[in-house]
Amino acid sequence: MGQNSVMAAVAIGLVLRAEGAWAQRQAATANLLKPTGFAAHGMPDPWTADCALAVGRHHLVAAVNQRVRFFTKSGRMTFDQGLVGPGEFLDQPSLLPFGSGAGDPVCAYDPYADRFYLVTLVRNPDMLTLSVSDDGDPNGTWHKFAIDMESFGDEIDFPDVGFDEGAIHVFARFENMSSAATRGKYCFSFDKPQALAGITPSFQALLLNDFFGSYTFASVRTLEPAPAQYLVWTQALFGSVARMRLVAIQDALGTPIVSQVNVTVPTWHYQADIPQGGSAIRLLTQPGCSFKHAVYRHGSLWATHNVGKGSADRTLARWYEVQMNGWPTSGLQPTLAQSGEVNLGLDSQGAPISTFYPSLDVDAFRNVVLTFNRVSANEPISLMHGVHRAVDPPGVVSYLPTLRVSSTPHPIGSWVDYSTTQADPFELGVFWGHGEFRTTQPTTWVSRIQIVP
């Protein structure tokens, strides 16, 4: 982007400084952003998707529970396989034992290595799979590793993947409610050069805590040099909380040094479920209280989750920028630079609108895009995006026109556990999102969002 384009982007951003109703900001933003997209996956009831996405130079990797597909950036599908089974992406029995299912997929594109990563969990027995493409085109050879997790705990769950220049960092939790000895939250740091070469990577396993109900840690995609590899988590299973906790790991593959610190944030409370239009079945929001897909860029850690706010029928997507200030090696502490909530007010009949299961990313110009779901007691689930421009006041989010509106209510309480948003590493001003809505079944949508200079 040239200097004139940057100046034009700043000028356009200034339009959004005026405060007003979210609908007015939506109307203003509609002319500044160009959302397009395509349907990526359909899931039979009662499955929910768990929407994973990675964006490379020419291709997208879009995974959901039990399936993975590759697309060109124009939306043409180039690969389609089940996650696990005979002849599928994770072959049985050559890689995994029969009877094992793979789920909770997370994926990432690593610009340091020009590779894609795909991580899944497996139960009975508990295993973690790490798959690494052999180059920047996902169509072709992948190095696939199945790592036995039985010695770390029972009931592996909710993985997340991050990276820095030297390692691939995977978070996983073990949630055996009856035994502290078989539960815990771990960061597994894998030797990246070995994985890239197709050699089963050595790894360090760090126990972060063994609390039950402490949700999950988000692994961080570290997109610039940092003093440590970071993770972020929060806990509010009951009552209220006004903090987030940061973890820093130095020398992750050698002799790890772990530091932890709390950062004060606006108070929020745990909200178990929320109503949806057209059904008495309430939607669970607990998985969205956890952080997922955090990123380190511009010297800050950027993260999002949903929080309970006020009404028993409402939860809001909230996002943060935490300035890291060189912690933990600088002698300074991280500080909250800004936070914001996706507050869409009331629906046409006066019921509170909830926003939940958010994800975000930040680009080279400090623009932030969020992907999230919207719902109320009178509205079906819909899929939306929000944008915070670098020139906007702290915490302000404007909203794009609704991407997709569900045509049927969801028949069970469990909705998608997460969406994904990615800044395109090769097209400045372009973001991609992967989220869920419903037709006659759960359906996922990949969207391309361009911030017009």
- Give the whole-angstrom CA distance, residue 325 versus residue 303: 16
pTM over 0.85: yes
- Give the whole-angstrom CA distance, residue 221 versus residue 109: 9
What pLDDT, on a 0 to 100 scale, did the predictor assign at position 181?
58
- Give the whole-angstrom CA distance, residue 183 versus residue 377: 37
What pLDDT, on a 0 to 100 scale, did the predictor assign at position 16?
28
Residues spanned by the domain of 413:
3-450
Please enumerate in sequence order all residues whose Cβ is within 8 A of that of 111, keeping only pairs 6 or more positions apart, or say none.
223, 425
Q: What is the DSSP string of 26-66?
A: HHHHHTTB--EEEEEEE--TT-----EEEE-SSEEEEEETT
**Domain containing 410 — which CATH number?**
2.130.10
Q: Give the model confidence (pLDDT) of 200-230 as tens digits.
A: 999 999 999 876 555 789 999 999 999 999 9
Query: Does the pLDDT value for residue 22 go beyond 90?
Result: no
Query: Does the pLDDT value for residue 62 go beyond 80?
Result: yes
CB environment 92-102: b (16+ within 10 A), e (fewer):
beebbeeebbb
Q: What does each C-alpha distance from 222 to 38, 114, 249, 296 come to in angstroms?
A: 29, 14, 12, 5
Task: Count the domains in the chain.
Answer: 1
- Give the whole-angstrom CA distance, residue 272 versus residue 88: 36
Summarize the confidence of residues 429-435 as an average pLDDT. 96
Q: Considering only residues 49 and 172, tell me which one the structure prediction assigns the higher pLDDT.
A: 172
Average pLDDT over all residues of the chain? 88
CA 397, 400, 403, 405 torsion-angle sign:
positive
Summarize the confidence of residues 24-35 as an average pLDDT. 52
What is the number of other CB atoms lying within 10 angstroms of the CB of residue 372?
29
- Give the whole-angstrom CA distance, residue 184 versus residue 300: 27
Summarize the confidence of residues 169-195 as an average pLDDT. 85
Query: Does the pLDDT value for residue 199 go beyond 70?
Result: yes
What pLDDT, on a 0 to 100 scale, did the predictor assign at position 5?
33
Summarize the confidence of residues 355-359 as an average pLDDT. 95
Summarize the confidence of residues 289-298 as an average pLDDT. 93
